[in-house]
Structure 1
Amino acid sequence: MGLFRRKRRGRLASSADEAHLEEFARTRRGVEAYIEPRTAVTDTTVVLVADTGEWTRRRVAGPQAAHALAYRLGIPAYDAAIVGYPQRMRDWTRRRAQEEEARRRADSGGQQ
């Protein structure tokens, strides 16, 4: 009768998560959705990637909710486990890491 069932917490995306994804898609060009499956550690998430490679990730209620969100936003949706991620996303992440490292060096006066 459900006495020993674990209550799943955090499974549904918050309205703030959904608002963030909508804002990201609305304010950037060429946005695509990459749906990441639920794992033992994380809930289903969706990664939105702009044409510049800038990206954001948020939790969603499930794969159907992610596809529905993409449809509502008018953007293509892909299964990240099948197609992977676009190179532009990896390039953007690498550039950001390099910029952050350069900023840290400048703040420390070039000393390590």
Structure 2
Amino acid sequence: MAWWRRRRGHASASAGSDLSSARAHLAEFVASRRGVEAYVEPATNVTSTTVVLIAHDGEWTRRALPSRPVAFDVARGLDVPVYDVNLTGYPARMREWTARQRRPRER
């Protein structure tokens, strides 16, 4: 049992720096692109709650956050529209951008 306590303490100690890093990355994405919207994704068995930022052209980035309320607070703090992906789904431009990135480059 002691190992679990230490492990949890270690994880929570780094959670603050992870949150700061995620906030900084998301803020930089918003500052360097236009038409950005935020989509909050729920936690699953495999992943924690995440925020996906999607720019006007479909370019996107995703960062994990500690909880759903924190995810909404961080997204609102970026001063962009915020959506619950369970209610809205993802915009088509995100899928189109991802498909363009996967195509082999023409020479």
TM-score under structure 2 length normalisation = 0.81
Which of structures 1 and 2 has the bigger CA Rg? 1
Q: How many residues align?
A: 101
Identity of aligned residues (%): 47
Q: Is the 8 A contact 2:38 2:54 kept in 1?
A: yes
4+ residue runs of structure 1 moved beyond 2 angstroms? 2-13
Distance 2:69 2:8 in 1: 21
Q: Is the 8 A contact 2:51 2:75 kept in 1?
A: no
- Residue in structure 2 matched with residue 110 of structure 1 by the alignment: none
Quote the RMSD (CA, aligned, Å): 2.4
Post-superposition offset of 1:80? 0.9
- Residue in structure 1 matched with residue 22 of structure 2 by the alignment: 17
What are structure 1's unaligned runs of at least 5 residues?
107-112
Say which of 86, 102, 109 aligns to 2:105: 102
What are structure 2's unaligned runs of at least 5 residues?
none
TM-score under structure 1 length normalisation = 0.77
Higher helix share: 2
Say which of 91, 95, 106 aligns to 2:96: 91
Post-superposition offset of 1:7? 3.6
